[in-house]
Amino acid sequence: METTTETMVERELEIAASPETVWEFLVDPVKVARWFGKQAWLEPRPGGQYRVDVIGGHIAAGEFVELDPPRRLVHTFGWEPEGGQENPVPPGASRIEIELEPSGEGTTLKFRHTGLPDAEAAGSHAHGWDHYLARLVVAGGGGDPGEDRGPEGM
């Protein structure tokens, strides 16, 4: 059966740091917290879980799927329930793939956020609308992702 998984965000960026250094920022909880949230708990192995307190108690969570240091990382992505309310994009609902390639002295990072099986399960008539809703909530998580904690980050 054909999958209708849609790419929601795709980005490519050059980082003036080695793939080994960048990799640490994907799997070391202290370093993950420096760019992704306030605090991170990670079990960086296939099947291992992670949780990141992104902003003010909004918890992003999922499972590591694939780790090929320092080249490729795949994990699922979603939001934990808040105030007893299930998030429409629960942990595991979408998928993030990050690839690192050496580029001169630095690294090319390729980022893809895909998925949302829930939108497919919702059925065809609901597809467009629910899909939009769901992918928004991936980003929003009920939170305020606009906050930037400044260059020091700690």
Which burial class, exposed, middle or buried, applies to 95 when counting CB atoms under 10 A from its CB (0-12, 13-18, 19+)?
A: buried
> Which of the residues 113 through 132 are near other proteins (CB under 8 A)?
113, 126, 128-130, 132
Q: Which is nearer to other proteins, 53 or 130 (CB)?
A: 130
> What does the alpha-carbon distance between residue 30 and residue 67 come to, in Å, rounded to a whole number?
18
The distance of closest approach from Cβ of residue 124 to other proteins in the complex, given in angstroms and rounded to an integer, is 13
Check binding of 30 to other proteins (CB under 8 A): no
What Å distances lie between residue 143 and 82, 122, 132, 133, CA to CA?
A: 11, 24, 17, 15
> Which of the residues 36 through 95 are near other proteins (CB under 8 A)?
36, 85-86, 88
The distance of closest approach from Cβ of residue 11 to other proteins in the complex, given in angstroms and rounded to an integer, is 6
Instruction: Look at the block and give the residue holding tokens 């329930």.
Output: 81
Q: Dig out the tokens for 54 from the structure.
A: 């992104």
85 three-class SS: strand
Under the rule (CB under 8 A), what is the footprint of other proteins? 8-9, 11, 13, 15-18, 21-22, 24-25, 31, 34-36, 85-86, 88, 107, 109, 111, 113, 126, 128-130, 132-133, 135-146, 148, 151, 153
